[in-house]
A = this chain, B = another copy of it.
Amino acid sequence: MTTETATQILHATHSALCKHGYAELTMQDIADETDLCKASIHYHYDGKHDLLVAYLDHLYEQFEDRIAEPAGETPAERLRGLVVALVTDRSDAPAFQTALLEIKAQSPYDDAFRSRLQRFDHAFTAAVREVVAEGVADGTFHEEVDPDAVASFLTTYVNGAQTRHAAVGHPLDDSAAAVDAYIDEALRADQAASTGGGPSSETANVGGTE
């Protein structure tokens, strides 16, 4: 299979997944998004499951590239770049978030999906940990901030933002604003200092969206 064909099939998988969801997705739906026939997709991939695993690997490669160099000049901006990007409304939400949630829900029954999702989870946690540690080292974040704890906390929060969006329609932009406020108000040493006042104002509105 040429790289071009592989890319075409994986892009078609993304489009078909957003249109039909995971449960109802057929190889024909995927073929319909390409100029290939179903048989030629079957020639390369055993079936829907095989193709979805390849799609998750493809998604991971893109994800890895993106989180390797989060945009932003300061650790606070890079942390925002990492976390908010995953939560911010994308053009294909909620369809993509819905498909992602279906794949997560399959994960307990499917070791291939599970190991892929664990790879995302570990990579994201590690990337957040690294940028939080940088921020602690350069004084952007409070020196007592624990990069491991914050990384796990934010990974859990991002999962929640995605699930809540797909399951009950909670706006991704609201979740993004809340995590933005958490970074500013709970982690940033410079920000907290500038708000002045007593101890209460320094820890106020943690996780808030005001």
Contacts and interface: CB of A to CB of B under 8 A. Distances in A.
Contacts of A162: 163
Given A108-B98, A156-B178, A205 B144 contact: yes
Contacts of A209: 146, 148-149, 152-153
Contact of A166 (B105, B143, B202): B105
Contacts of A144: 200-201, 204-205
Q: Which 8 A-B pairs have the closest CB atoms?
A: A160-B160, A144-B204, A153-B207, A149-B208, A186-B206, A159-B160, A104-B167, A105-B105
Interface of A: 21, 23, 94, 98, 101-102, 104-105, 107-109, 114, 117-118, 121, 142-146, 148-150, 152-164, 166-170, 174-175, 178, 181-182, 185-187, 189, 192-193, 199-210
